Amino acid sequence: MSVWAVLAAAGRGERLEADRPKAFAQLDGRPLLAESLQRLEASAWIDSIVVVAPPGWEEPVILLAEELGCGRWSRRSAAAGRGQPPFASA
């Protein structure tokens, strides 16, 4: 049996009054998404990680995951569920 974690990183960050999605708001100099990705990547229980990103923020998610050395993640755009294809396949 495979266990997949779905990391919803598509919040707009409006309540934070941020100019970027909430997942990219900085906490101690790092995007919030970095902490979640690293913890899921380190978990022995998780086989794959699916990151749901807002449209237009796919590339920053890819770059962050690569920078962190995450190898068990997959990418999906928040628009994919609305008739748009995923921005990358795992």
Query: 17: helix, coil or strand?
Result: coil
Q: Give residue for tokens 């050395």.
A: 69
In CATH, what number is assigned to the domain containing residue 24?
3.90.550.10
Give 89's pLDDT tier (boundaries 50, 70, 90): very low
Residue 75 has a pLDDT of 61
Number of domains into which the chain is organized? 1
Residue 40 has a pLDDT of 93
Count of all residues that appear for the chain in the document: 90
Burial (CB count within 10 angstroms: exposed 0-12, middle 13-18, buried 19+), residue 26 = exposed
- Secondary element (H or E) of residue 26: strand 26-27
Give 55's pLDDT tier (boundaries 50, 70, 90): confident
Number of Cβ within a 10 Å radius of residue 22: 19
Q: Would residue 9 count as lying in a domain?
A: yes
Most confidently predicted of 4-13, 21-30, 31-40, 76-85? 31-40
Q: Would residue 90 count as lying in a domain?
A: no
Q: Would residue 53 count as lying in a domain?
A: yes
Q: Would residue 88 count as lying in a domain?
A: no
What pTM did the predictor assign? 0.73
The residue range of the domain holding 70 is 4-82
Q: Would residue 87 count as lying in a domain?
A: no
Residue 79 has a pLDDT of 55
